[in-house]
Amino acid sequence: MIRAGEGASMVEQCIEGGYIGVGFGQDIFSAMPAKTRREDLAGAFREVHPDWSENKVANSAGQLFRFLVEAKTGDEVVTGDPARRLYYLGTIESDAEFARKAVDALPFRRKVKWVRKALRDELSVETRNTLGAIQTLFKLNAEASADLRQHAVDIAASPTDKPKPVEAAPVKAEREGRSIDELRREVVEKAQEFIEDLIARLDPYVMQDLVAGILRAMGYKTRVSPRGGDRGIDIFASPDGLGLQEPRIFVEVKHRPNTQIGAPEVRAFLGGRRPADRCLYVSTGGFTKEARYEADRANVPLFLVDMPQLRTLLLDNYEQLDTETRRLVPLTKLYWPIDQGG
């Protein structure tokens, strides 16, 4: 498993460009390190970041060492796209290289032939839990690897295509010691992914109720369109609920967890909006690059909300949600000790 940047921010570029990379180390190395022994990498991290704990130095050096040295041409690799709830599977096709023009993104790269993809919703709870580990790069256990292969389809397949069974090959699991704070971040990431699982299972009409509930928690009064023909608007929100006070917010909700919204849908939604209107487009399947370009150049303010952003809005406003909305995604609070050991 190799994550495509913080929050999978580089996943589209990696899949389209046929590579995978890691972003940490760019403040230390301006080219491929002359020595790629684990202890040499640790020394470089230690020198540049004297405030880091030995545990953080060891983990950073260990993960970069795995990417540069331990990962081999021909190894299988998987990366995740949380916005589309997909995992992409491929094969490493090159040694590590340093991409000088990508210093702000993923400078250390390997070419990858991406061939298959698996829907997160098809995977077992155990596999989803494993894939939620916080490390940038780690080996999957045999069970998770087999589950991914079993549910993977061709990368060009539609979301409804069924996977063809693939015989699993055993893979050793590997974990390193981590601090309390690192464990906390792993628990938080896994919790966020499981919360997205709950959201993904909602009925499309119930999804509208969830979005309306979040807007009410933010201080707006809402009107949800009756089920059936919505005439292009699923939710209307404003301070007074009548639209006499600004902002007047028009909301479209598309609950298709594995299907991106394109530019034509965005243009259709914006049709007829007035300059003072505010627009919100919620798509649990995410948006294409063209859709985001369309939103950027729209004549009225338009905010696009994908699944991770919807989850963030839900959590940020959960304490203010009414009882009916909380029942849609029931959550409980967890307390965690503060790591004071550095």
> CA–CA separation, 34 vs 17, rounded Å?
26
pTM metric for this prediction: 0.72
Q: How confident is the model at residue 324 (pLDDT cuts 50, 70, 90)?
A: very high
Does 185 score more than 60 pLDDT? Answer: yes
Which segment of 150-164, 181-195, 287-301, 311-325 scores lowest on mean pLDDT?
A: 150-164
Residues near 179 by beta carbon (within 8 Å), at least 6 away in sequence: 53, 55, 56, 339, 341
> CA–CA separation, 45 vs 27, rounded Å?
9
What are the residue ranges spanned by the domains of the chain? 6-178, 204-328
Q: How confident is the model at residue 166 (pLDDT cuts 50, 70, 90)?
A: very low
Fold of 204-328: Trna Endonuclease; Chain: A, domain 1 (3.40.1350)
> CA–CA separation, 194 vs 121, rounded Å?
10
Quick one: pLDDT at residue 187?
86
> CA–CA separation, 68 vs 38, rounded Å?
10
Does 228 score more than 60 pLDDT? Answer: yes
Quick one: pLDDT at residue 174?
41
Average pLDDT, the chain: 86
More confident residue, 5 or 327: 327
**pLDDT tens digits, one per residue of 256-285:** 888 899 999 999 998 878 888 899 999 999
